[in-house]
Amino acid sequence: MSGVPVVVVHGGAGAWRGLSLEEFKAMVRALEEAVYGGLEVSRSGDCVDMVVEAVARLEDSGVFNAGLGSVLDYSGSLTMDAGIMAGSGGAGGVAVVSYPRNPIKLARIVMEKTPHVIIAGPWADELARKLGLEAHPGPSARAIERWRKLKLDPSASPWVESRVKAARALGYDTVGAVASDGKGCLAAGVSTGGVALKLPGRVGDSPIPGAGFYATPRIAVAATGIGETIILSMASLKLSEYYEKTGDVEKAATMLVEEHTRIWGQGTIGVIAVTGEAEVAAKYNTEAMPWAYARLGEKPTINGLPNTVLP
C-alpha cells in the first residue's frame, strides 16, 4: 500500500474540436487546479474529500460539461447528474438536478447522510436547498448560445436514431476524479451536464455505481463517454474486475476499452483509474480525453489533449 496521496482527473472523452487557444489554456489550468486542490485536501482529509474537491473545482471552472459549464437539454433546461463511491462500499448519486452549484457535493450527502444510493429530480434539489448547498447561477451564456445553434440545426434532433449516433452528433463528456489518500482509502466521483440537447429527464451513467464510477479497497475507476453504452456494459465495475484478474491496472484499462470498442465502436468511452499502490491508468477510444494526475509534492502531468485548437 503506497503512502503517497495521488489524484487523477479527466475533463471528458470526446471530439474536442474547434477550441480557441484561450479555451485550450483554460482547460489545462482547470485540470491542474483540480489536481492541486485534491492533493492539498489530502493533508487533512481522506480520499472522499480529495475527490469531492477535485470534481468541485472542475464543476466551478465553467470549462467542462459539468456544474457551471453544463449543457442544456432539448427544452432548454439545465439538468445535471453526479455520483461518488468510496472503496469501503458506500455510494451516492443524484440525477436530473438543477439547484446545486456542485452536484458532486449533493451526491456525497446522499452517500453519507441518507439510506439511499440515488435521489433524482426536484426531490434531490429540495434536499440540496434544505441543507444549504450553494445554488447554481443558471446556464452560462456559452451554453445558451450552443443550445440555440443546435436547435436551429435540422439534424440536431436525432433521438429517433441510435443512441450512439445521437450522442456523437450532439456531443458528450463529463468530468471525473479518482484518488488514493495513501492510507488505504480509495474513491471515485463524476459529474456531468449530460448530452447536449438530450431528451428532458434523461439520466446517464454518472449517478450509477458500476457504470460511471466504481471503487473497491484496491482500485477506483471513473468513466466518461456515451453514457448509454457505459450503463449497458457497466464499464467501471468491469474494469475493476479485470484488475482483480490481472493485477495490472494498465492492462485492465486496455482490456476494458478494447472490449467496449468491439461492441460499441470508436468514440464511445474513456476511463481513468488509480490503485492502492498509487498506480495510475487512463485509456480512451475518442479523439481526445484531457486528463491529469500527480502524487503529493509533484507537478501535475497533463495528457490526452486535443490537437484541434484554432489559431
Supply the CATH number for residue 106's domain.
Answer: 3.60.20.30
* Residue 241, CA distances (Å) to 66, 106, 260 in order: 28, 28, 15
Q: What would the pLDDT profile of 225-280 be if each residue is shown by its tens digit? A: 999 999 999 999 999 999 999 999 999 999 999 999 999 999 999 999 999 999 99
Q: Which residues does the chain have with pLDDT short of 50?
A: 158-161, 166-171
Q: What's the pLDDT at 242?
A: 98
Residue 56 lies in a domain: yes
Q: What's the pLDDT at 123?
A: 97
Residue 309 lies in a domain: no
Q: What's the pLDDT at 17?
A: 80
Q: What's the pLDDT at 131?
A: 96
Residue 191 lies in a domain: yes
**Domain extent for 50:** 6-303
Residue 168 lies in a domain: yes
Give the torsion sign (CA, 57, 280, 11, 167). Answer: negative
- Measured between alpha carbons, how far is 120 from 107 in angstroms, rounded to an integer? 10
Total tally of structural domains belonging to the chain? 1
Q: Which of 79, 174, 216, 224 is catalytic?
A: 174
Residue 288 lies in a domain: yes
Q: Catalytic annotation on 308? A: no
Q: What would the pLDDT profile of 158-179 be if each residue is shown by its tens digit? A: 444 455 554 444 445 789 999 9
Taking Cα atoms as reference points, which of 93, 207, 82 lies closest to residue 136? 82
Residue 308 lies in a domain: no
Residue 92 lies in a domain: yes
Residue 131 lies in a domain: yes
- Measured between alpha carbons, how far is 301 from 145 in angstroms, rounded to an integer? 33
Strand partners, 118: 93
